[in-house]
Amino acid sequence: MNCLQAEEHFSAHFEDALDYQTLQAFEAHLAACEGCRHEHALFQESVIAAQQLPQIGTSPYFMPALQQRLAEEQPERLSFWRQLIQVVNRPRWAFSGMMLLIFAAASIYFYHRDIVDWNARPTAIRDTQTSQQEGQVTRPLRTGLSAVPTLNNSRQFSPGSSMSSQPMQQHYVLKTVSYASTPTRGGL
């Protein structure tokens, strides 16, 4: 360690922040160099003198004058967008918002994928499934083959083809409804 390098470590040495190896080299240099020893002593004295400067007190007029000025001032109000940005900027809110967005995007993706899957099935299979379900009270479910809509107004999809080029096919299921066994209790 030379004198310039030693001088760079004066503060770290004063604050006891040198690692062991640097400390050894620093102290070895000080032991060998009288000039640095002298400068180091002056350095320590001057830092201690600065640290021991007395605190400057507050005048008795400070607080009343400040309170008078504060009474005339109003805290600034944030606009709606700045408030929103501030909320989003908070780490936990930002994280929650991000997760919510990811969840929403994933839901939309799977929802549309299921519709495309259903519409991409061959018409014959769908008709068979529809006829098997005929006469039952059906509930339109989007997934699985067990349920079919009673009124199927669909277009045939195939990858790569545009929707407008395909003819629209409509499937109607007519039900016969009898009211013979329905009690009317004296009414019609």
Partner 1 sequence: MSELDDELMQRFQKGDEGAFTLLVRRHQQPLINFIARFINDRDSAEDLAQETFIRMFKAAHRYQPGRARFNTWMYHIASNLCKNELRNRGRRDRYRVENVVSNGRDADGDTEQVDLIASAPADASFQPDVQLERKELRKAVQKAIAELPEEYRLPLVLRDIQGLSYDEISKVLELRSGTTKSRINRARLMLKDKLKSFMEPL
Residues that bind partner 1 (CB under 8 A): 7-8, 10-12, 14, 39, 42-43, 45-47, 49-51, 53-59, 61-63, 65-67, 69-70, 73-78, 86, 89-90
As beta bridge partners, residue 172 has 151
Q: Report, in Å, the least distance between residue 12 CB and partner 1.
A: 8
Name the pairing type of β-strands 169-172 and 151-154.
antiparallel
Task: Tell me which H or E stretch contains 152.
Answer: strand 151-154
CB 121 within 8 A of CB 134: no
Query: Which two tokens mark 55?
Result: 């605190």
Rank residues 46 and 143 by Cβ distance to partner 1 and give the closer one.
46
Rank residues 58 and 162 by Cβ distance to partner 1 and give the closer one.
58
CB 134 within 8 A of CB 152: no
For the chain, report the end-to-end CA distance as a whole number of angstroms: 113
Q: Report, in Å, the least distance between residue 121 CB and partner 1.
A: 54
Q: Report, in Å, the least distance between residue 8 CB and partner 1.
A: 7
Query: Which two tokens mark 157?
Result: 């999809």
Q: Report, in Å, the least distance between residue 14 CB and partner 1.
A: 8
Rank residues 33 and 47 by Cβ distance to partner 1 and give the closer one.
47
Rank residues 26 and 118 by Cβ distance to partner 1 and give the closer one.
26
